[in-house]
Structure 1
Amino acid sequence: MEAQELHRGRLIDHLHLVVRDLAASRRFYEALLEVLGVPIGGAAEDYFWADELFVSTADSDAAQGNLTGRHHLAFQARDRAAVEAFHKAGLAAGGTDNGAPGERPYHPGYYAAFLLDPDGNNIEAVFHGPHQRSSDSIRINFDS
Structure 2
Amino acid sequence: MLLKSIRLGSNDLPKTRAFYDATFGALGLAPCSTPEQYPIVMWDLGGVRFLLGPARDGEPTTHANGGTIIFEAADEDAVKAWHAAGLVNGGTSEGEPEPKPQARGAFGAYLRDPDGNKLGAYFGLSMG
- Give TM-score, length-normalised by structure 2: 0.81
SS of the aligned residue for 1:99 comes to strand
SS of the aligned residue for 1:85 comes to helix
Q: How does 1:1-144 map to 2 (within 5 A)?
A: 10=2, 12-44=3-35, 45=37, 46-51=39-44, 52-58=49-55, 63-65=56-58, 67=61, 69-70=63-64, 71-128=67-124, 138-139=127-128
CA contact (8 A) 2:6 2:51 kept: yes
Larger Rg: 1
SS of the aligned residue for 2:70 comes to strand
Give structure 2 stretches of 5+ with no counterpart.
none
Could you list the runs of 4 or more consecutive aligned residues of structure 1 that deviate by over 4 angstroms after TM superposition?
A: none
CA contact (8 A) 1:80 1:127 kept: yes
1:95/1:107 Cα in 2 relative to 1: closer, same or farther (>3 Å)?
Answer: closer
1:40/1:68 Cα in 2 relative to 1: closer, same or farther (>3 Å)?
Answer: farther
What's the offset of the Cα at 1:13?
2.0
What's the offset of the Cα at 1:57?
2.6
SS of the aligned residue for 2:22 comes to helix
CA contact (8 A) 1:40 1:49 kept: no
RMSD of equivalent CA atoms? 1.9
What's the offset of the Cα at 1:107?
4.0
- Give TM-score, length-normalised by structure 1: 0.73
Question: Aligned pair count?
Answer: 119
